[in-house]
Amino acid sequence: MMLAVDVGATRLRVAVGTPDGRILRKIVVNTPRSGGKLAVAERIVEIASKLLGERKPEAVGVASIGPLDLGRGWVVNTPNNPIRSFSLSEPLAEALASRVILANDCMAAVWGEHVYGLGGGLGDLAYITISTGIGGGFMVDGHLLVGWRGNAHEIGHLVIDYKSNTRCGCGGRGHWEGLASGSGLPRLASLMAQQYRYESTAWSKAVEGRLSSREIYLYARRGDSFALRVIDEANRIHAAGLAGVIASYDPRLIVLGGAVAVRNHDLLIPGIRRYLEEYSLHKPPRIEVSAFGEDSVLMGALAIASHTPPELERFSFNPRK
């Protein structure tokens, strides 16, 4: 029995699963956003005891928001949780008396796609999450890309529009995430609303700065001309970002995950494909949405626990006793 943990910006998912990729039981709660450096680890242990009772997991896979310091097993200075820096690997290894393997969420997810999912056996694979933020995980020549502290994945901060004044959550201008992620899309919409006038409900809301990312897709489905225009622009931005991914990593397959992609792939993928033809250096590879829905990071956590890639093995933590 493996323990799989997804430490998200808003949700903490903890599950028990088997090495062949079955999730047996899962508990989802809000990620602690206050307390000390051990608050998140302690919450995970509490849920694990509900799931496992007296049993001890064979291994624990933890897929987390970053940035990470894998050598110490910490999340360090994350913009996505007010606790900012917290320890995961060591307190979990001690409390659960088990080996702990920590990875960035998208890094784990690409490994999950390789082991259990659409990337089955492929050695050149990209996983891109389009969610509140945008991130990526990559395999090249059969190797998982990790980086020296575990942060080889900050693809959402690629500059897509160097003339843009739109600031990303990180402070940079014209970033992929700042323009077209779940959190960036409303900014893009209000910018576009100021440029042209549309006879549309979505336009009126965007002008007042109260059009959410979810509503943009909702109105587009109802045929709202402005919402469709915003989505077309966002698809162009995604295509530009993915062209950078293709030029950098030469993947055979790009798997899209994250709530925005999973819920709206029908509106995303055809548009992205069309623009990618214009932007990409090579003939674009296949683009598919993850078959794991909103569990793709959790499946990644299960995969790094049960089929630990050598690139993460050296960062695993064992209990002292």
Between 114 and 175, name the residue whose CB sits nearer to Zn ion: 175
| Cα 226 to Cα 247: distance, rounded to the nearest angstrom | 32
* Sequence-distant (≥ 6) Cβ neighbours of residue 256 within 8 angstroms: 127, 128, 129, 130, 262, 265, 268, 269, 287, 288, 289, 290
- The residue written with tokens 């088997």 in the block is 18
Residue 153 in the binding site for Zn ion (CB under 5 A): no
174-213 footprint of Zn ion as x/- string (CB under 5 A): -x--------------------------------------
Token pair of 141 as six digits: 């020549």
The CB density around residue 59, as the number of other CB atoms within 10 Å, is: 20
Between 7 and 168, name the residue whose CB sits nearer to Zn ion: 168
Give me the least distance between CB of 206 and Zn ion, in Å please: 22
Token pair of 37 as six digits: 């450096």
Closest CA to 64 of 157, 159, 135: 135
Give me the least distance between CB of 215 and Zn ion, in Å please: 23
**Contact pick of 79, 147, 172, 319 for Zn ion (by CB under 5 A):** 172
DSSP H helical ranges for the chain: 39-52, 89-96, 105-115, 176-180, 185-195, 201-207, 213-221, 225-249, 259-279, 296-306, 310-313
| Cα 224 to Cα 233: distance, rounded to the nearest angstrom | 14
Stretch that binds Zn ion, among 45-53, 154-162, 219-227, 281-289 (CB under 5 A): 154-162
What is the footprint of Zn ion within residues 57-96 (CB under 5 A)?
A: none
SS3 53: coil
Residue 247 in the binding site for Zn ion (CB under 5 A): no
Q: How many residues bind Zn ion (CB under 5 A)?
A: 5
Token pair of 38 as six digits: 């051990």
- The residue written with tokens 């609303």 in the block is 193
Stretch that binds Zn ion, among 96-104, 144-152, 172-180, 239-247 (CB under 5 A): 172-180
Stretch that binds Zn ion, among 116-124, 130-138, 151-159, 274-282 (CB under 5 A): 151-159
Give me the least distance between CB of 167 and Zn ion, in Å please: 8
Between 75 and 92, name the residue whose CB sits nearer to Zn ion: 75
Which residue sits closest to Zn ion, CB atoms considered? Answer: 168
DSSP string, 62-105: EEE-S-EETTTTEE-S-TTSTT--EE-HHHHHHHHTSEEEEEEH
Between 24 and 170, name the residue whose CB sits nearer to Zn ion: 170
107-146 footprint of Zn ion as x/- string (CB under 5 A): ----------------------------------------
Between 19 and 172, name the residue whose CB sits nearer to Zn ion: 172
**Contact pick of 170, 212, 225, 277 for Zn ion (by CB under 5 A):** 170
Residue 168 in the binding site for Zn ion (CB under 5 A): yes
| Contact yes or no for 135/303 (Cβ under 8 A) | no
Residue 157 in the binding site for Zn ion (CB under 5 A): yes
Residues in touch with Zn ion (CB under 5 A) = 157, 168, 170, 172, 175
